[in-house]
């Protein structure tokens, strides 16, 4: 059996490498491909055709794949009859279009091959489990990449995936505090604001600062930071503020802590909108023109790393201390857990990831304005955490995708007056979407009190254990 | 000195009047929290709905009919919100009840948006309250005077009810210990409904006073006063009615002093900062009794 | 009783499904095809009211001109709505909804911050957007595909300053704007610049969001001896300011920008002696044939549709932004006709050269994509009848 | 003569006007099992809470291994209301929080069981090993402390074996029967490597058979872990069986102390428990 695995693993890797090489070469030589299509270079005589072709090459150069494909389709559709589109050329065209998908399948096969080899080499259960999880994660990312290629990076589905991923991180970081440590904080929007502003302020290119800080003569900050550094700085600044506010506030009991953190978020918003700080925060005006991402992979990978870190924390000895504090503070303290220190640690870590989430949200929105970070944004995230299940990371992740998809995409049709035949659907007019959305929230909370996942985690061994769990009563 | 008074009298009057209105809302928050340990997020929106009821009812009925009818409708709304959104979650985790409250608040706000189209509606002038009078040198509305007096009278009545009636005693019992009260045969649901009825009625009266002073009614008009009233309730020690009233007046007046001094950009931020400072020194608010864990 | 719990769960699921039942649109098929125009407006949030009135202008224009004839036949024009909830965190997905509904042109939005927030998304999709009433310069600055049919804040701020100087000969002004709203803060900035340049004195405040008590601010203005109050706020705050000025006996004239051109303000000012004058894009009293035809046609259409009336605030007063919605729609049609196709890139190529003589005057785009406007209508509230009266057409005094 | 493991000097705790613990002085030596008994509401658990830092006593001192760990004197409002003795004997003020006292080596169980209800049996004990961790946040999260983690888990398993709960490792703590929950709490306390173990009515709610097993178990623990045990209990059988010395308090005041049989026949104790017979 071992030999079979060896050969299987190596074979997969070879195929993967082949796929990768072929797809990369197919994608690189677009100009050559277009020349071969137009053998008699009819293009020189026909200016309109030349303009369309140049548009294709130009968007290919600033590697905006979405626009390149769109321009290519237009070019072929308009001038198809003048080009040689049969035989090998048709094949090359499909290779160009499906390039990224082929290369992602290659990556997947590579991962499976490596996993197979790893299990053969060490054979330990832990390694087999780790390999399984690794392949699962690679599969997830490949799926996201393929979906993005097919649906196009600016389609509704991909947009919802991007925002859903970012809200997943925000929900998990809030769950770390409310769900795992039992600290009831409503300050999430404030720390997201700090993260978003810190990121935006430091990544605006110097040449466009004059335009962005139009009332403040280009603003004080006159340098630009690399993206990753700025995101981490966003988290650190949010964590620093969290430490400061944590000192007086963390001693308070649950509801008082909630209102104190809510108050703090409102104070932050007022400070960031204050005109006096204009040269730094641009006062009430928008921050824009900072570096953003366009592929959905960026937020997914960033959020993936953060959530992995949070899961590692929750299952570490410190995570167990947080859960002890949630269950019974007095007993936790009696077992030697220093409450102020651990509470502050949980609060600072949660706000660090809220800051990082805020930075990612800024990149998703391409503009940042303090007035959007209201208490209602914190309630939204709290809603996601409770709907997903307090104390369940996978619950928060699933719930955030469902929440964003429902509120910003699926229910949009309720706003538009639609006429079926001559019958005008009565209730549908602008504003009805939010009414239906609130009713759905109420129904879910009333009938699924423990949230979708309760406090269970979605994991591979959950399916194995399900049989046993049935015997033990569903929610003990 | 005389010039100082004329300049600052309007601020003080404004502070007292808005303080009174916050008090009427804050009492609702404190009572519901005292009984159910629930932050009733929907309370601020019930306050706004009362405003819209009055606008729509007064368009077709005389004030003498529309005023009491608004109070009745608001009581019915408060009662049904409790029965629909909170009763099924009687023994659910605290966080779910909180989300249900946020859900109701969302629902009420979005329903108001949907029904009224969102444009600010002009609150009808209530004959005696909205007529303007001049005190010393500052002209203002009758409501600025009526509010503090009416608030104190209503709160005094409420304190009497709490301390000297059967239902009042039941409320105090339930707020002290939910389970034991239930064991002692107190009909919990009736007590809770009574709390919501009183809370909503006071919020209804508060909204009549508030909107006759600030006459533009929009779906989110009640959000900020609701939040301020809750801050006042926590500031005064959540669960204690006198605390809520005093907290409300302090916040109302200090807010206006801040505006007079000219730091208005931070007037809301200041209210929260004041709350955080108080909570640091008195973790359960000015009059809240310190609840320590029984080990 | 297990049965009840099970039944409750089933009932809940049933309710959720029926509410989400997708409605399918079956339009008639008399045309060669349909061209979609995106309406990117707030239907909720602070600017929801203004957004709805602007959308009414676009919907009326679609009622007047439901189709456009291109070289290969007549196309039905269909509107696709997306509510950006007047907040920058909801704007991207609303903009995205329109991009993926493959609309040819986008109209909107009321409120500059949500327009700027969507600029990059429209730009990336190669989609031309026409700003209707967003006056912040940054909407078009650096966004090649974003055009605009109204004047800009720098112009409106200076015009109002000129009006304050000419009409009231004011030497001291007091400004009031909402903290965090770039429209108001921007206008105050330009007003102060122009007013100080003419030797005037200006001080003012920014009030926090959700404020309803303005007595303190009005009293400060009164104590400072201001001769004019400039308060470019959104509609709900406008009504509060007017009624509280009246109840506190403050008669200092109040000036504001286009957001105050709305029936709510006239209603609030009725039976008070508060003098409110507003700069706006259009005046119902304008006697030009195009304007009269629009006013009569729009009022008839409005009264014929009850829920349209509700969106307009329950009366048929015409808000300044409504004709802009109308003109914006017509400009979009002109662009589609000029490009002779519904393709975004073709429309983008011809857009710069489009001109249109609209209800709000001639529209010609400058190199930045803004309509060249050198005058604004000024109108004041007539407090007895509760209507707007035309004051003058105000240019910038050089 | 080596210092006492635990010594209470004039320990007094006054809530408002009620004196729960009144001028209690006692001591426990290495390896002893000492019981503190008294009728309900005599102030036993309050004394425990003063030792373990849950309350700061109104007056008096607690010494652990000769070193003062808790000390206070009536101050502020309490100075006026103070009813107890030796008002200004102690000037030093030290009120460490319960976790610091546990870190010194004093572990405790609770009268009404306080297990971590959402955690499994194994995790309940594992959490108590957190106290002696050497890893900081980063090494723990990035799993660089795998050796420490392994030794923690082994220690937890070992303790579960000793209390006989190894097979119920993955059960939810609250789903265990009452007696087992008591044993789990003891195992959890042991996981903090104490030198002094405070047991607050470990036999409450147990039937006679379980109580007998428990008394053997406590003695065995004392020998195996070289502990000193300070016990509050109502089951006289258990107390008389395993205690080296007994202190009796009533209404917060010490009324008798000494060897078990001396205390049993002490008239004061009998009246405290059974009251005076009306003749």
The interface pTM score, or ipTM, of the predicted complex is: 0.87
Q: Answer yes or no: do A369 and A309 share one domain.
A: yes
In a domain? residue A56: no
Q: Answer yes or no: do A146 and A160 share one domain.
A: no
* Last residue in a domain, options A382, A399, A416: A399
Percent of chain A scored above 70 by pLDDT?
95
Show contacts of A430-434: CB within 8 Å, 24+ apart: A430/C43, A430/C44, A430/C52, A430/C55, A430/C81, A430/C83, A430/C311, A431/B110, A431/B113, A431/B114, A431/B117, A431/B118, A431/C43, A431/C44, A431/C48, A431/C83, A432/B114, A433/C83, A434/B106, A434/B110, A434/B113, A434/B114, A434/C44
Q: Answer yes or no: do A191 and A97 share one domain.
A: no
Count up the domains in chain A and report the number. Answer: 2
User: What is the pLDDT confidence band of residue A401, given thresholds at 50, 70 and 90?
Assistant: very high
Q: Answer yes or no: do C336 and C305 share one domain.
A: yes
Per-residue pLDDT at B83: 92
C-beta separation of A293 from A383 below 8 A: no
In a domain? residue C26: no
* Last residue in a domain, options A127, A150, A173: A150
User: What is the pLDDT confidence band of residue C23, given thresholds at 50, 70 and 90?
Assistant: very low
From the number of C-beta atoms within 10 Å of its C-beta (0-12, 13-18, 19+), residue D5 rates as: buried
Pick from C209, C217, C244: CB nearest B264: C217
Q: Answer yes or no: do A165 and A298 share one domain.
A: yes
Phi, psi of A419 (to 5 degrees): -115, 115
- Shortest CA gap C80–chain B (Å): 19
In a domain? residue A421: no
Query: What Cα–Cα distance (Å) separates residue A385 from each residue in A88, A114, B97, B171?
Result: 53, 36, 13, 32
Per-residue pLDDT at C17: 57
Lowest mean pLDDT among A73-77, D166-170, D225-229: A73-77
d(CA D245, CA C344): 94
| Yes or no, beta carbons of B285 and A256 under 8 Å apart | yes
Q: Answer yes or no: do C237 and C312 share one domain.
A: no
Q: Which residue has the tokens 């509609």?
A: C235
Domain residue spans in chain B? 23-224
Per-residue pLDDT at D116: 92
The model's pLDDT over C193-204, given as tens digits with 9 standing for 90+, comes to: 999 998 889 988
More confident residue, A83 or B42: B42
Q: What is the CATH number of the domain that holds C138?
A: 3.40.50.2300
The model's pLDDT over A226-237, given as tens digits with 9 standing for 90+, comes to: 999 999 999 999
Q: Which domain holds residue A395?
A: 153-399
- Shortest CA gap A316–chain D (Å): 6
* Last residue in a domain, options A365, A399, A433: A399
d(CA A335, CA D102): 7
Percent of chain D scored above 70 by pLDDT?
99
| Yes or no, beta carbons of D114 and A345 under 8 Å apart | no
Per-residue pLDDT at D1: 62
C-beta separation of A89 from A37 below 8 A: yes
Lowest mean pLDDT among A441-455, C45-59, D241-255: A441-455
The model's pLDDT over B144-153, given as tens digits with 9 standing for 90+, comes to: 888 888 888 9
Please, what's the b/e burial string for B147-181 (b: 16 or more CB within 10 A of its CB; e: otherwise)?
bbebbeebbeebeeebeeeeebebbebbbeebeeb
User: What is the pLDDT confidence band of residue C10, given thresholds at 50, 70 and 90?
Assistant: low
Per-residue pLDDT at D196: 93
Rg (CA), chain A: 26
Percent of chain C scored above 90 by pLDDT?
20
- Would the pLDDT of A319 be above 90? yes
User: What is the pLDDT confidence band of residue A463, given thresholds at 50, 70 and 90?
Assistant: low
Overall average pLDDT of the C173-184 stretch? 89
Overall average pLDDT of the C63-68 stretch? 90
The model's pLDDT over B11-39, given as tens digits with 9 standing for 90+, comes to: 788 888 888 889 989 988 888 888 888 88
Overall average pLDDT of the A304-332 stretch? 93
d(CA A471, CA C398): 86
Strands C128-131 and C146-148: parallel
C-beta separation of C208 from C172 below 8 A: no
Per-residue pLDDT at B5: 75
Q: What is the CATH number of the domain that holds A257?
A: 1.10.3470
In a domain? residue C179: yes
- List the Cα angle C84/C88/C91 in 5-degree steps: 35
Residues 6+ apart with CB under 8 A from A75: A49, A52, A53, A55, A56
- Would the pLDDT of A476 be above 50? no
Q: Answer yes or no: do A272 and A388 share one domain.
A: yes
- Would the pLDDT of B284 be above 80? no
- Would the pLDDT of B121 be above 70? yes
Strands C105-108 and C67-70: unpaired
- Would the pLDDT of C306 be above 70? yes
Q: Which domain holds residue C248?
A: 154-280+377-394
Whether the model pTM is above 0.95: no
Lowest mean pLDDT among C23-27, C114-118, D223-227, D253-257: C23-27
Q: Which residue has the tokens 């999430």?
A: A188
> Among all residues of chain D, which has the CA nearest to that of A456?
D118
Q: Answer yes or no: do C85 and C234 share one domain.
A: no
> Among all residues of chain A, which has the CA nearest to that of D133?
A317
More confident residue, A212 or A170: A170
Q: Which residue has the tokens 């109104």?
A: D58
Pick from B18, B113, B269: CB nearest C213: B18
Count up the domains in chain C and report the number. Answer: 2
Query: What Cα–Cα distance (Å) separates residue B104 from each residue in B27, B80, B99, C219?
Result: 19, 11, 9, 38
Per-residue pLDDT at A464: 53
User: What is the pLDDT confidence band of residue A470, given thresholds at 50, 70 and 90?
Assistant: very low
User: What is the pLDDT confidence band of residue B200, given thresholds at 50, 70 and 90?
Assistant: very high
Hey, what CATH class is D1-105+195-279 in?
A: alpha beta
Three-state SS for chain B is CHHHHHHHHHHHHHHHHHHHHHHHHHHHHHHHHHHHCCCCCCHHHHHHHHHHHHHHHHHHCCHHHHHHHHHHHHHHHHHHHHHHHHHHHCCCCHHHHHHHHHHHHHHHHHHHHHHHCCCCEECCCCCCCCCEEEECCEEEEHHHHHHHHHHHHHHHHHHHHHHHCHHHHHHHHHHHCHHHHHHCCCCHHHHHHHHHHHHHHHHHHHHHHHHHHCCEECCCCCHHHHHHHHHHHHHHCCCCHHHHHHHHHHHHHHHHHHHHHCCHHHHHHHHHHHHHHHHHHCCCCCCCCCCCCCC
Whether B60 has its CB under 8 Å from any CB of chain C: the answer is: no
Q: Answer yes or no: do A199 and A231 share one domain.
A: yes
> Among all residues of chain C, which has the CA nearest to that of B56?
C314
Q: Answer yes or no: do A210 and A98 share one domain.
A: no
d(CA C357, CA C360): 8
Q: Answer yes or no: do A182 and A240 share one domain.
A: yes
Q: Which residue has the tokens 């640091």?
A: B280
More confident residue, D240 or A83: D240
Whether D110 has its CB under 8 Å from any CB of chain B: the answer is: yes
- Would the pLDDT of B175 be above 80? yes
More confident residue, A296 or A456: A296
CB < 8 Å to A305, chain D: none
More confident residue, D81 or B21: B21
Q: Single out the residue of D259, D141, D112 nearest to residue D200, CA to CA.
A: D112
Where, residue-wise, is CATH 3.40.50.300 in chain D?
A: 1-105+195-279
Q: Answer yes or no: do A295 and A376 share one domain.
A: yes
| Yes or no, beta carbons of A409 and C8 under 8 Å apart | no
Per-residue pLDDT at A462: 55
Q: Locate A12 and state its tokens.
A: 């997969």
Overall average pLDDT of the C368-374 stretch? 86
d(CA A319, CA A305): 17
Kindly tell me whether chain A and chain C come into contact, counting contact as 3+ Cβ pairs under 8 Å.
yes
d(CA C342, CA C67): 13
Q: Answer yes or no: do A301 and A219 share one domain.
A: yes
Per-residue pLDDT at C27: 44
In a domain? residue A288: yes
Residues 6+ apart with CB under 8 A from D77: none
- Would the pLDDT of C230 be above 70? yes
User: What is the pLDDT confidence band of residue C3, given thresholds at 50, 70 and 90?
Assistant: low
Per-residue pLDDT at B196: 92
Q: Answer yes or no: do C135 and C163 share one domain.
A: no
Lowest mean pLDDT among A352-361, B134-143, B195-204: B134-143
Distance of CA A383 to the CA centre of its chain: 18
d(CA A456, CA A460): 12
Q: Answer yes or no: do C159 and C114 share one domain.
A: no
């Amino acid at each position: 059996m071992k030999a079979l695995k060896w050969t299987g693993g190596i074979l997969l890797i070879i195929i993967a490498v082949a796929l990768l090489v072929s797809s990369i070469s197919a994608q690189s030589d677009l100009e050559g491909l277009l020349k071969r299509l137009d053998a008699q270079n009819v293009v020189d005589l026909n200016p309109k055709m030349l303009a369309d072709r140049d548009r294709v090459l130009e968007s290919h150069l600033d590697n905006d794949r979405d626009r390149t494909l769109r321009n290519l389709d237009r070019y072929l559709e308009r001038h198809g009859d003048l080009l040689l589109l049969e035989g090998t050329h048709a094949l090359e065209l499909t290779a160009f279009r499906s390039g990224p998908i082929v290369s992602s399948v290659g990556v997947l096969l590579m991962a499976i091959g490596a996993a197979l080899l790893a299990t053969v080499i060490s054979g330990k259960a832990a390694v087999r489990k780790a390999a399984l999880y690794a392949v699962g994660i690679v599969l997830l990312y490949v799926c996201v990449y393929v979906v993005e290629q097919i649906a196009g990076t600016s389609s509704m589905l991909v947009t919802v995936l991007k925002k859903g991923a970012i809200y997943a991180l925000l929900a998990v970081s809030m769950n770390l505090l409310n769900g795992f440590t039992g600290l009831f904080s409503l300050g999430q929007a404030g720390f997201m604001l700090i993260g978003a502003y810190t990121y935006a302020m430091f990544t605006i290119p110097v040449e466009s600062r004059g335009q962005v800080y139009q009332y403040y003569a280009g603003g004080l900050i006159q340098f630009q930071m690399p993206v990753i550094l700025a995101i981490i700085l966003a988290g650190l600044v949010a964590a620093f503020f969290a430490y400061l506010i944590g000192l007086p506030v963390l001693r308070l009991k649950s509801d008082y802590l909630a209102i104190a953190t809510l108050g703090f978020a409102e104070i932050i918003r007022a400070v960031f909108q204050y005109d006096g700080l204009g040269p730094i925060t641009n006062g009430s005006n928008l921050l824009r023109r900072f570096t953003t991402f366009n592929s959905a992979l960026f937020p997914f990978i960033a959020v993936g790393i953060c959530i992995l870190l949070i899961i590692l924390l929750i299952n570490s000895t410190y995570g167990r201390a947080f859960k002890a504090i949630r269950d019974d503070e007095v007993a936790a303290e009696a077992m030697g857990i220093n409450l102020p220190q651990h509470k502050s640690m949980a609060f600072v870590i949660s706000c660090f990831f809220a800051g990082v989430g805020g930075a990612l949200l800024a990149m998703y929105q391409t503009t940042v304005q303090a007035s959007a970070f209201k208490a209602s944004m914190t309630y939204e995230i709290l809603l996601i955490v409770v709907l997903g299940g307090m104390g369940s990371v996978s619950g928060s992740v699933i719930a955030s995708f469902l929440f964003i998809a429902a509120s910003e995409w699926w229910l949009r049709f309720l706003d538009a007056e639609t006429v079926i035949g001559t019958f005008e659907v009565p209730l549908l007019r602008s504003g009805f979407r939010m009414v239906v959305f609130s009713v759905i929230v109420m129904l879910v909370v009333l009938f699924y009190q423990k949230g979708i996942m309760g406090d269970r985690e979605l994991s591979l061994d959950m399916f194995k254990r399900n049989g046993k769990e049935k015997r033990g009563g569903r929610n003990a | 000195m005389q010039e100082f008074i004329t300049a600052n009298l309007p601020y003080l009057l404004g502070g007292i009047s808005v303080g009174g209105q916050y008090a009427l809302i804050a009492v609702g928050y404190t009572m519901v929290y005292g009984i159910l340990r629930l932050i009733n997020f929907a309370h601020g929106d019930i306050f706004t709905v009362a405003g819209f009821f009055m606008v729509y009812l007064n368009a077709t009925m005389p004030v003498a009919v529309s005023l009491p009818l608004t109070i009745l409708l608001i009581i019915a709304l408060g009662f049904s919100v409790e029965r629909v959104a909170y009763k099924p979650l009687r023994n659910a985790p605290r966080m779910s009840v909180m989300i249900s409250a946020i859900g109701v608040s969302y629902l009420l706000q979005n329903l108001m948006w949907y029904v009224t189209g969102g444009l600010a509606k002009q609150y009808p002038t209530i004959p005696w309250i909205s007529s303007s009078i001049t005190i010393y040198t500052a002209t203002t509305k009758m409501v600025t005077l009526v509010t503090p007096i009416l608030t104190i009278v209503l709160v005094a009545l409420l304190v009497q009810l709490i301390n000297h009636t059967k239902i009042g005693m039941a409320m105090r019992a339930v707020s002290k210990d939910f389970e034991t009260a239930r064991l002692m045969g107190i009909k919990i649901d009736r007590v809770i409904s009574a709390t919501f009825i009183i809370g909503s009625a006071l919020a209804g009266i508060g909204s009549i006073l508030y909107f006759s002073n600030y006459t533009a009614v929009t779906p989110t008009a009640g959000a900020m006063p609701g939040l301020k009233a809750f801050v006042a309730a926590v500031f005064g020690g959540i669960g204690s009615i006198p605390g809520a009233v005093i907290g409300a007046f302090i916040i109302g007046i200090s807010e206006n002093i801040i505006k007079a001094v000219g730091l208005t950009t931070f007037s809301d931020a200041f209210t929260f900062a004041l709350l955080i400072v108080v909570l640091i020194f008195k973790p359960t608010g000015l009059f809240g009794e310190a609840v320590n864990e029984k080990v | 009783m297990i049965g009840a719990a099970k039944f409750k769960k089933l009932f809940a699921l049933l309710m959720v499904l029926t509410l989400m039942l997708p409605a399918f649109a079956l339009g008639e098929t008399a045309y060669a095809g349909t061209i979609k125009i995106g309406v990117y407006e707030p239907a909720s949030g602070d600017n929801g009211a203004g957004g709805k009135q602007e959308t009414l202008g676009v919907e009326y224009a679609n009622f007047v001109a439901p189709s456009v004839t291109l070289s290969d036949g007549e196309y039905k024009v269909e509107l696709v709505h997306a509510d950006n909830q007047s907040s920058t965190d909801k704007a991207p997905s609303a903009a995205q909804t329109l991009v993926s509904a493959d609309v040819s042109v986008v109209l909107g939005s009321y409120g500059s911050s949500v327009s700027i927030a969507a600029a990059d998304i429209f730009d990336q999709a190669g989609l031309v957007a026409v700003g209707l009433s967003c006056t912040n310069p940054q909407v078009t600055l650096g966004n090649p595909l974003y055009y605009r049919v109204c004047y800009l804040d720098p112009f409106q701020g200076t015009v109002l300053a000129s009006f304050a100087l000419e009409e009231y000969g004011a030497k001291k002004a007091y400004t009031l704007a909402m903290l965090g709203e770039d429209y108001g803060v921007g206008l105050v900035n330009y007003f102060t610049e122009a007013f100080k340049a003419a030797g005037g004195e200006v001080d003012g405040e920014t009030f926090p969001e959700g404020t309803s008590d303005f007595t303190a601010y009005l009293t400060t203005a009164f104590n400072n001896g201001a001769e004019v109050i400039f308060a470019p706020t959104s509609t709900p705050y406008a009504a509060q300011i007017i009624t509280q000025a009246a109840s506190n006996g403050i008669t200092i004239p109040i000036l504001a920008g286009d957001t105050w051109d709305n029936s709510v303000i006239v209603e609030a000012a009725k039976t008070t002696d508060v003098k409110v004058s507003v700069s706006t894009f259009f005046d119902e009293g304008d006697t030009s044939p195009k304007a009269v035809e629009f006013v009569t046609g729009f009022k008839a259409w409005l009264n014929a549709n009850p829920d349209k009336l509700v969106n307009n605030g329950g009366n048929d007063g015409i808000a300044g932004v409504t004709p802009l919605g109308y003109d914006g729609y017509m400009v979009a049609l002109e662009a589609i006709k000029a490009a002779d196709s519904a393709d975004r890139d073709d429309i983008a190529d011809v857009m710069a050269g489009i001109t249109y003589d609209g209800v709000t005057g001639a529209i010609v785009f400058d190199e930045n994509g803004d309509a060249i406007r050198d005058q604004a209508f000024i109108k004041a509230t007539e407090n007895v009848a509760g209507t707007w009266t035309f004051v003058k057409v105000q240019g910038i005094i050089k | 003569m080596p210092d006492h493991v635990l010594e209470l000097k004039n320990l007094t705790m006054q809530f408002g006007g009620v004196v729960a613990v009144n001028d209690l002085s006692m001591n426990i030596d290495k390896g002893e099992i000492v019981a503190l008994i008294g009728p309900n509401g005599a102030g036993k658990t309050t004394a425990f809470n003063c030792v373990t830092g849950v309350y700061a006593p109104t007056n008096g001192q607690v010494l652990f291994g000769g070193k003062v760990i808790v000390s206070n004197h009536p101050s502020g409002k309490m100075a006026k209301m103070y009813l107890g003795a030796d008002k200004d004997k102690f000037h030093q003020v030290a009120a460490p929080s319960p976790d610091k006292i546990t870190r010194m080596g004093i572990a405790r169980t609770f009268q009404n069981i306080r297990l971590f209800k959402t955690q499994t049996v194994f995790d309940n004990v594992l959490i108590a090993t957190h106290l002696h961790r050497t890893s900081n946040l980063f090494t723990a999260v990035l799993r660089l402390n795998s050796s420490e983690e392994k030794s923690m888990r082994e220690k937890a398993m070992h303790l579960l074996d000793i209390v006989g709960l190894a097979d119920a490792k993955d059960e939810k703590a609250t789903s265990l029967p009452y007696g087992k929950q008591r044993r789990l709490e003891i195992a959890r306390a042991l996981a903090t490597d104490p030198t002094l173990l405070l047991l607050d009515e470990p036999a409450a709610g147990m039937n006679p058979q379980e109580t007998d097993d428990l008394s053997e178990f406590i003695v065995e623990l004392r020998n195996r872990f070289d502990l000193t045990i300070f016990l509050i209990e109502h089951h006289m059988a258990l107390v008389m069986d395993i205690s080296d010395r007994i202190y009796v308090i009533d209404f917060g005041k010490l009324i008798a102390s000494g060897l078990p049989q001396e205390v049993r026949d002490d008239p004061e104790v009998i009246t405290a428990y059974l009251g005076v017979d009306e003749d």
